[in-house]
Amino acid sequence: MFDYDDDIEYMDFSEEGFREVQQCLDRFVTVNYETALGLLYRMKATPEDITLYKGKVLDIIRHNPPLESIPRYFRDGREDYLWYSDFYDDITKEVYGRYRTFTTLAVEITPANYTEELAKIDLPYFRELIDLVSLEKLCMLYEANQPSNETEADTEEEADINTDAETGKEDIADITQEPEAGEQTETTQSDRQPKKRSYEPKLNSKQYTLLAECVEDIKLFRRKVKTSELKKLLKGKLTEPLEVTNQKSLVYFLDLLSENKYIKDTWMSVADGNRNFLSFRTEGNKQRYGNEPHYITMQQFLNCRNRNKRESIVGLVEIEDMIDAMEGNRDN
């Protein structure tokens, strides 16, 4: 993800620029969707068809990871779903630049010129975006036309509950009895939130101190983080996520800890599952994500790791010096 200190600023991508991409995409989606809808109307879609379409959606996302969040924002009804999604965060700088400088087609898109005009669009992921959104629209249409089945199922379930209420009052009374204290605490904790996982840290007190000093030196997080908080973070006990100022630096920081066996190799999956890190609240992020906090996902971690190989890392020297110092303070 491109943060405020990256070479490309999101503010460079003007509102008119991203709307041109969105409007062009919508024009192609309209033709593609209506063509597919005409075929389905004549053949009458079945549940098996929709299952197949959902499988195709997953295939598209699997082969094109930056498209992962688009269905969620599209289904939320956002007019500018492409902008609000994580798409522009997850694509490379080169691809981002091509989208930023895109000029929309002047002609109207029709079934007759669809293929010819689409061939003129030189944007990575654009064809996949059309297919993805068209399939999502078909699935949503099918789901919207299935209320009777859901209502019938709800009615049957309600009837079963009423019958149970009349004939099994003793069983219900047993269920609603207050459990023992220890049992109640365990169930409540499990229901409220999934258990967080540990990064399996192997650091002593001196190494934790070096860790905290490095984090503060490079301003890795939006606020100052104490040594005790870093211990809680790595042990899976941190209650509030940390706001990250530079994701590439964070990935390099944790990768080096992993490579030197201070934390587990699969730290990305732990961070993703624990929702430990929030993206920095730049103006661009606020426009895309609204007021909701945006947790950094595994895909974003992976993208940052790839960019680490060819871009400078903020705090690289400090991070590597920290690792050297930690090596000199290993427990024998």
pLDDT, residue 313, reads 85
The Cα–Cα gap between 255 and 153 comes to: 49
pLDDT, residue 147, reads 53
The Cα–Cα gap between 41 and 34 comes to: 10
What is the arithmetic mean of pLDDT over 141-166? 52
Q: How confident is the model at residue 290 (pLDDT cuts 50, 70, 90)?
A: low
Same domain, 27 and 138: yes
Q: Is residue 180 part of a domain?
A: no
pLDDT, residue 332, reads 57
Check the CA dihedral 310-221-217-209 and report its sign: negative
- The predicted-structure confidence for 211-221, as pLDDT tens digits, reads as follows 999 999 999 99
Same domain, 139 and 215: no
Write down the H helix ranges in the chain: 15-43, 47-63, 70-75, 81-84, 87-90, 93-100, 114-118, 126-144, 147-167, 169-176, 181-192, 205-217, 227-234, 247-259, 267-274, 283-289, 298-308, 316-327
Distances (CA, A) of 253 to 79, 211, 256, 303: 38, 10, 6, 15
Q: Is residue 200 part of a domain?
A: no
Per the prediction, the chain carries an average pLDDT of 78
Q: Is residue 268 part of a domain?
A: yes
pLDDT at 188 over 80: no
Same domain, 136 and 213: no
Same domain, 221 and 322: yes
Structure tokens, 307: 């960019």
Q: Is residue 182 part of a domain?
A: no
Q: Is residue 196 part of a domain?
A: no
What is the arithmetic mean of pLDDT over 229-236? 93
Q: Is 181 helix (H, G, I), strand (E, B) or coil?
A: helix
- The predicted-structure confidence for 245-275, as pLDDT tens digits, reads as follows 888 999 999 999 999 999 998 898 889 888 9
Residues with Cβ within 8 Å of 14's Cβ and at least 6 positions away in sequence, in order, are none
Structure tokens, 271: 């961070």
pLDDT at 207 over 70: yes
Task: Please give the residue range of the domain that contains residue 284.
Answer: 205-327
Q: Is residue 173 part of a domain?
A: no
Same domain, 140 and 215: no
pLDDT, residue 115, reads 93
Q: How confident is the model at residue 80 (pLDDT cuts 50, 70, 90)?
A: confident
The highest-confidence range among 11-15, 69-73, 305-309, 312-316, by mean pLDDT, is 69-73
Q: Residue 300: left (phi > 0), alpha (psi -120 to 50), or beta?
A: alpha
Q: Is 107 helix (H, G, I), strand (E, B) or coil?
A: coil
pLDDT, residue 150, reads 42
Same domain, 129 and 224: no
Same domain, 21 and 109: yes
Q: What angle do CA 126, 130, 131 make, to 5 degrees?
A: 120
Same domain, 16 and 139: yes
Q: How confident is the model at residue 73 (pLDDT cuts 50, 70, 90)?
A: confident
Q: Is residue 16 part of a domain?
A: yes
pLDDT at 304 over 80: yes
Same domain, 117 and 212: no
pLDDT, residue 152, reads 45
How long, in residues, is the chain?
332
Task: Give the end of a domain, one of 125, 144, 163.
Answer: 144
Task: Give the end of a domain, one of 144, 175, 197.
Answer: 144
Which value, in Å, is the radius of gyration of the alpha carbons in the chain?
25
**Domain count within the chain:** 2
Same domain, 47 and 131: yes
pLDDT, residue 311, reads 65
Same domain, 223 and 135: no
Same domain, 130 and 22: yes
What is the arithmetic mean of pLDDT over 112-134? 94
How many Cα atoms are found within 13 Å in the side-chain-facing hemisphere of 21?
26
pLDDT, residue 249, reads 92
Task: Give the end of a domain, one of 129, 144, 159.
Answer: 144
The Cα–Cα gap between 41 and 37 comes to: 6
Q: What percent of the chain has pLDDT over 90?
A: 39
DSSP codes joined into one string, 237-293: --SSPEEBS-HHHHHHHHHHHHHTTSS-TTHHHHHHHHT-EE----HHHHHHHTTS-
Q: Say which DSSP state 218 is in.
A: T
Q: Is residue 167 part of a domain?
A: no
Helix 15-43 and helix 93-100, axial crossing angle in degrees, nearest 10 = 90
The highest-confidence range among 13-27, 146-160, 316-330, by mean pLDDT, is 316-330
What is the arithmetic mean of pLDDT over 100-125? 91
pLDDT, residue 286, reads 58
pLDDT at 63 over 80: yes
Do residues 295 and 275 lie in contact, with contact meaning Cβ atoms separated by under 8 Å? Answer: yes
Do residues 128 and 67 lie in contact, with contact meaning Cβ atoms separated by under 8 Å? Answer: yes
